[in-house]
Amino acid sequence: MTFFQSLILALILTILIEFAIYFATIRQDPIRLFWYSALINSFTNPLFNYLYNYELHNLYLLESAVALVECFLIKHLLEIGYRKAMLVSFLANLAALLIGLIVFG
């Protein structure tokens, strides 16, 4: 698998994993949640992968920053409180990180 293919696979997996967490925790319209997952992760995932691969190799610092950014995006897009948005963001990013570590090593 080429580097570009692995980036595309990482983005697709992240969107699907985080969508599953959004749906399990928020229980709103699944189509809307899927599109928000795609929108949010189309912004944060490529930025994370670029920074991790070329600039800053601190996985946990970057993942924490992504979770914080996504918390604000989730809060405003889904119109939920900060606590719930942070919980959803933390769970979604933790699940995506763990599965990513299994798939990509």
Q: For residue range 67-87, list pLDDT tens digits in order.
A: 999 999 999 999 999 999 999
Share of the chain above pLDDT 90, in %: 94
Domain span at residue 38 reads: 31-104
**In a domain? residue 26:** no
H helix intervals, the chain: 3-26, 30-50, 59-78, 82-104
Nearest to 71, CA basis, from 48, 51, 98, 44:
44
CA distance 28 to 4: 33
| pLDDT at residue 105, as a whole number | 80
Q: What is the mean pLDDT of residues 34-62?
A: 95
| pLDDT at residue 74, as a whole number | 97
**In a domain? residue 99:** yes
What does the block give as tokens for 86?
């942070």
Q: What is the mean pLDDT of residues 23-52?
A: 96
The total number of structural domains in the chain stands at 1
